[in-house]
Amino acid sequence: MMPSTAPPSRRKLLQWLGTGALVATAPARLAQAQSALAAPPLLMDGHVHVVNRVYWESIDPWQAADGGWDYARARAAGVNCIIDNIGTYGAWNYDYTPKQALRLIETFLRFAESHADRMGVARDAAEARRIIAAGRMAVFLGCESGWDHEGDPDVLAAFHRLGLRVVQFATQTGFNAFSDSALAQLQGRQAPDHYHGINERGRALVAEMNRLGILIDITHGTEDRLPVVSQQFIP
Protein backbone atom coordinates (compact mmCIF):
# COMPACT_ATOMS: atom_id res chain seq x y z
CA MET A 1 0.00 0.00 0.00
CA MET A 2 1.22 3.52 -0.80
CA PRO A 3 2.25 5.64 2.22
CA SER A 4 -0.10 8.57 2.65
CA THR A 5 2.34 11.10 4.16
CA ALA A 6 5.58 11.76 2.19
CA PRO A 7 5.75 11.07 -1.55
CA PRO A 8 7.21 7.60 -2.23
CA SER A 9 10.74 7.17 -3.47
CA ARG A 10 11.18 6.21 -7.12
CA ARG A 11 12.33 2.78 -6.01
CA LYS A 12 9.22 2.27 -3.82
CA LEU A 13 6.96 3.48 -6.62
CA LEU A 14 8.51 1.04 -9.10
CA GLN A 15 8.16 -1.79 -6.58
CA TRP A 16 4.53 -0.88 -6.01
CA LEU A 17 3.79 -0.60 -9.74
CA GLY A 18 5.68 -3.81 -10.44
CA THR A 19 3.67 -5.74 -7.88
CA GLY A 20 0.42 -4.41 -9.27
CA ALA A 21 1.43 -5.12 -12.86
CA LEU A 22 2.46 -8.67 -11.96
CA VAL A 23 -0.85 -9.40 -10.27
CA ALA A 24 -2.80 -7.92 -13.18
CA THR A 25 -0.94 -9.85 -15.87
CA ALA A 26 -0.11 -13.04 -13.96
CA PRO A 27 -2.49 -15.36 -15.88
CA ALA A 28 -1.19 -14.08 -19.23
CA ARG A 29 2.43 -14.43 -18.12
CA LEU A 30 1.77 -17.90 -16.78
CA ALA A 31 0.17 -19.01 -20.05
CA GLN A 32 3.10 -17.52 -21.98
CA ALA A 33 5.62 -19.36 -19.80
CA GLN A 34 3.68 -22.63 -20.11
CA SER A 35 3.54 -22.45 -23.91
CA ALA A 36 7.27 -21.59 -24.02
CA LEU A 37 8.02 -24.67 -21.91
CA ALA A 38 5.76 -26.84 -24.07
CA ALA A 39 7.42 -25.68 -27.33
CA PRO A 40 10.22 -27.92 -28.59
CA PRO A 41 13.71 -26.39 -28.25
CA LEU A 42 14.94 -24.60 -31.33
CA LEU A 43 18.14 -25.90 -32.93
CA MET A 44 18.95 -23.86 -36.02
CA ASP A 45 21.55 -24.13 -38.77
CA GLY A 46 21.70 -20.65 -40.25
CA HIS A 47 23.70 -21.36 -43.39
CA VAL A 48 22.88 -24.33 -45.61
CA HIS A 49 23.33 -24.63 -49.39
CA VAL A 50 21.46 -27.72 -50.33
CA VAL A 51 18.98 -26.47 -52.94
CA ASN A 52 21.85 -25.64 -55.29
CA ARG A 53 22.76 -29.33 -55.17
CA VAL A 54 19.13 -30.34 -55.82
CA TYR A 55 19.18 -28.07 -58.90
CA TRP A 56 22.59 -29.02 -60.28
CA GLU A 57 22.96 -32.65 -59.12
CA SER A 58 19.33 -33.79 -58.68
CA ILE A 59 20.11 -35.22 -55.24
CA ASP A 60 17.48 -35.92 -52.59
CA PRO A 61 18.96 -34.43 -49.42
CA TRP A 62 16.35 -36.21 -47.29
CA GLN A 63 18.49 -39.29 -47.97
CA ALA A 64 21.56 -39.47 -45.75
CA ALA A 65 24.77 -39.04 -47.74
CA ASP A 66 28.47 -39.36 -47.01
CA GLY A 67 29.50 -35.88 -48.02
CA GLY A 68 27.95 -32.47 -47.66
CA TRP A 69 24.90 -31.41 -45.71
CA ASP A 70 21.68 -33.42 -45.77
CA TYR A 71 18.29 -33.14 -44.05
CA ALA A 72 18.35 -36.72 -42.83
CA ARG A 73 21.45 -36.34 -40.64
CA ALA A 74 20.59 -32.79 -39.57
CA ARG A 75 17.15 -33.93 -38.42
CA ALA A 76 18.61 -36.95 -36.64
CA ALA A 77 20.95 -34.57 -34.80
CA GLY A 78 18.00 -32.49 -33.61
CA VAL A 79 18.16 -29.60 -36.08
CA ASN A 80 14.62 -28.33 -36.67
CA CYS A 81 15.17 -24.98 -38.40
CA ILE A 82 17.54 -23.89 -41.19
CA ILE A 83 18.21 -21.08 -43.62
CA ASP A 84 18.80 -22.60 -47.05
CA ASN A 85 20.73 -20.16 -49.21
CA ILE A 86 20.34 -20.40 -52.93
CA GLY A 87 23.53 -19.20 -54.64
CA THR A 88 23.49 -17.73 -58.13
CA TYR A 89 27.11 -18.69 -58.77
CA GLY A 90 28.21 -18.39 -62.37
CA ALA A 91 25.14 -16.29 -63.26
CA TRP A 92 26.73 -13.00 -62.24
CA ASN A 93 25.21 -10.70 -64.79
CA TYR A 94 22.57 -8.00 -64.64
CA ASP A 95 20.19 -10.12 -66.71
CA TYR A 96 21.07 -13.63 -65.61
CA THR A 97 21.26 -13.26 -61.83
CA PRO A 98 17.53 -12.74 -61.10
CA LYS A 99 16.68 -15.41 -63.69
CA GLN A 100 18.94 -17.95 -62.01
CA ALA A 101 17.57 -16.92 -58.61
CA LEU A 102 14.05 -17.68 -59.90
CA ARG A 103 15.10 -21.11 -61.16
CA LEU A 104 16.58 -21.92 -57.76
CA ILE A 105 13.57 -20.55 -55.87
CA GLU A 106 11.26 -22.69 -58.00
CA THR A 107 13.49 -25.71 -57.22
CA PHE A 108 13.35 -24.81 -53.52
CA LEU A 109 9.54 -24.50 -53.44
CA ARG A 110 8.98 -27.64 -55.50
CA PHE A 111 11.34 -29.60 -53.26
CA ALA A 112 9.62 -28.31 -50.10
CA GLU A 113 6.17 -29.19 -51.50
CA SER A 114 7.24 -32.72 -52.40
CA HIS A 115 8.49 -33.25 -48.81
CA ALA A 116 5.69 -31.36 -47.07
CA ASP A 117 5.29 -34.13 -44.50
CA ARG A 118 8.80 -33.44 -43.20
CA MET A 119 9.48 -29.76 -43.90
CA GLY A 120 7.78 -26.44 -44.43
CA VAL A 121 8.76 -23.03 -45.78
CA ALA A 122 8.79 -20.48 -42.97
CA ARG A 123 8.01 -16.86 -43.77
CA ASP A 124 8.14 -15.52 -40.25
CA ALA A 125 9.05 -16.67 -36.74
CA ALA A 126 5.48 -17.66 -35.85
CA GLU A 127 5.21 -19.86 -38.94
CA ALA A 128 8.58 -21.44 -38.15
CA ARG A 129 7.41 -22.26 -34.64
CA ARG A 130 4.18 -23.83 -35.96
CA ILE A 131 6.15 -26.00 -38.41
CA ILE A 132 8.57 -27.05 -35.67
CA ALA A 133 5.74 -27.77 -33.22
CA ALA A 134 4.26 -30.11 -35.84
CA GLY A 135 7.54 -32.06 -35.85
CA ARG A 136 8.73 -30.78 -39.23
CA MET A 137 11.84 -28.87 -40.33
CA ALA A 138 11.23 -25.13 -40.71
CA VAL A 139 13.16 -23.73 -43.67
CA PHE A 140 13.80 -20.07 -44.35
CA LEU A 141 14.85 -19.09 -47.88
CA GLY A 142 18.00 -17.02 -48.33
CA CYS A 143 20.05 -15.92 -51.34
CA GLU A 144 23.75 -15.23 -51.56
CA SER A 145 26.21 -14.02 -54.19
CA GLY A 146 23.63 -11.83 -55.95
CA TRP A 147 19.87 -11.62 -56.37
CA ASP A 148 19.63 -8.75 -58.88
CA HIS A 149 22.73 -6.72 -59.71
CA GLU A 150 20.51 -3.79 -60.66
CA GLY A 151 18.90 -3.78 -57.21
CA ASP A 152 15.37 -3.33 -58.50
CA PRO A 153 13.00 -2.89 -55.50
CA ASP A 154 10.11 -4.48 -57.44
CA VAL A 155 12.23 -7.58 -58.09
CA LEU A 156 13.09 -7.64 -54.40
CA ALA A 157 9.41 -7.36 -53.41
CA ALA A 158 8.52 -10.17 -55.83
CA PHE A 159 11.23 -12.39 -54.35
CA HIS A 160 9.87 -11.57 -50.91
CA ARG A 161 6.40 -12.76 -52.01
CA LEU A 162 8.06 -16.01 -53.11
CA GLY A 163 9.43 -16.47 -49.61
CA LEU A 164 12.87 -14.83 -49.69
CA ARG A 165 13.76 -13.73 -46.15
CA VAL A 166 17.59 -13.41 -46.13
CA VAL A 167 19.66 -11.54 -48.71
CA GLN A 168 23.43 -11.30 -48.93
CA PHE A 169 23.81 -7.65 -49.88
CA ALA A 170 27.27 -7.58 -51.48
CA THR A 171 28.12 -9.80 -54.42
CA GLN A 172 30.98 -12.30 -54.46
CA THR A 173 32.48 -10.75 -57.58
CA GLY A 174 32.57 -6.95 -57.62
CA PHE A 175 30.47 -3.87 -57.24
CA ASN A 176 26.91 -3.97 -58.49
CA ALA A 177 24.50 -1.04 -58.84
CA PHE A 178 24.24 -0.53 -55.09
CA SER A 179 27.11 -2.03 -53.13
CA ASP A 180 30.84 -2.65 -53.10
CA SER A 181 32.18 -6.14 -52.54
CA ALA A 182 35.16 -7.19 -50.45
CA LEU A 183 35.88 -9.82 -53.13
CA ALA A 184 36.06 -7.24 -55.93
CA GLN A 185 39.85 -7.43 -56.25
CA LEU A 186 40.09 -11.18 -56.02
CA GLN A 187 37.17 -12.12 -58.25
CA GLY A 188 36.51 -9.13 -60.45
CA ARG A 189 39.90 -7.37 -60.56
CA GLN A 190 38.20 -4.20 -59.38
CA ALA A 191 38.99 -1.77 -56.59
CA PRO A 192 36.80 -2.60 -53.57
CA ASP A 193 35.93 1.06 -52.93
CA HIS A 194 33.76 2.06 -55.89
CA TYR A 195 31.09 3.49 -53.58
CA HIS A 196 33.02 3.34 -50.30
CA GLY A 197 30.34 0.98 -49.03
CA ILE A 198 26.90 1.46 -50.53
CA ASN A 199 25.31 4.24 -52.56
CA GLU A 200 21.87 5.88 -52.43
CA ARG A 201 20.22 2.91 -54.11
CA GLY A 202 21.86 0.67 -51.54
CA ARG A 203 20.42 2.80 -48.75
CA ALA A 204 16.97 2.65 -50.36
CA LEU A 205 17.28 -1.14 -50.59
CA VAL A 206 18.26 -1.39 -46.93
CA ALA A 207 15.11 0.58 -46.08
CA GLU A 208 13.02 -1.65 -48.34
CA MET A 209 14.46 -4.83 -46.85
CA ASN A 210 13.68 -3.50 -43.37
CA ARG A 211 10.14 -2.66 -44.48
CA LEU A 212 9.56 -6.05 -46.07
CA GLY A 213 11.21 -8.01 -43.27
CA ILE A 214 14.27 -9.37 -45.07
CA LEU A 215 17.34 -10.14 -42.97
CA ILE A 216 20.43 -8.49 -44.49
CA ASP A 217 23.47 -10.76 -44.68
CA ILE A 218 26.51 -8.44 -44.76
CA THR A 219 29.02 -11.15 -45.70
CA HIS A 220 31.54 -9.90 -48.31
CA GLY A 221 30.69 -6.27 -47.58
CA THR A 222 33.67 -3.91 -47.42
CA GLU A 223 34.98 -2.20 -44.32
CA ASP A 224 34.06 1.27 -45.62
CA ARG A 225 31.48 3.13 -43.59
CA LEU A 226 28.66 5.07 -45.19
CA PRO A 227 30.54 8.27 -46.16
CA VAL A 228 27.56 10.64 -45.93
CA VAL A 229 26.62 9.45 -42.49
CA SER A 230 30.16 9.23 -41.15
CA GLN A 231 31.17 12.71 -42.41
CA GLN A 232 28.26 14.23 -40.53
CA PHE A 233 29.52 12.85 -37.26
CA ILE A 234 33.27 13.30 -37.70
CA PRO A 235 34.27 16.56 -35.94
Query: Which residues of this protein are in contact with Zn ion, per CB under 5 A?
Result: 144
* CA–CA gap between residue 229 and residue 144 (Å, rounded): 26
What minimum distance in Å lies between the beta carbon of 165 and Zn ion? 15
The answer for 228, left when phi > 0, alpha when psi is -120 to 50, beta otherwise, is alpha
* CA–CA gap between residue 220 and residue 89 (Å, rounded): 14
What minimum distance in Å lies between the beta carbon of 96 and Zn ion? 19
Residue whose CB is less far from Zn ion, 160 or 220: 220
Helix, strand, coil percentages in the chain from 3-state DSSP, rounded to 5: 45, 15, 40
* CA–CA gap between residue 232 and residue 235 (Å, rounded): 8
* CA–CA gap between residue 206 and residue 169 (Å, rounded): 9
What minimum distance in Å lies between the beta carbon of 47 and Zn ion? 6
* CA–CA gap between residue 191 and residue 28 (Å, rounded): 56
What minimum distance in Å lies between the beta carbon of 116 and Zn ion? 26
* CA–CA gap between residue 46 and residue 25 (Å, rounded): 35
What minimum distance in Å lies between the beta carbon of 145 and Zn ion? 8
Residue whose CB is less far from Zn ion, 171 or 199: 171
DSSP string, 146-212: -S-TT--HHHHHHHHHTTEEEEE-S-SSS--SSB--TTIIIII---TTSSSSB-HHHHHHHHHHHHH
Residue whose CB is less far from Zn ion, 84 or 144: 144
Residue whose CB is less far from Zn ion, 89 or 96: 89
For Zn ion, the nearest residue by Cβ is 144
Residue whose CB is less far from Zn ion, 144 or 148: 144
Residue whose CB is less far from Zn ion, 144 or 180: 144
What minimum distance in Å lies between the beta carbon of 196 and Zn ion? 25
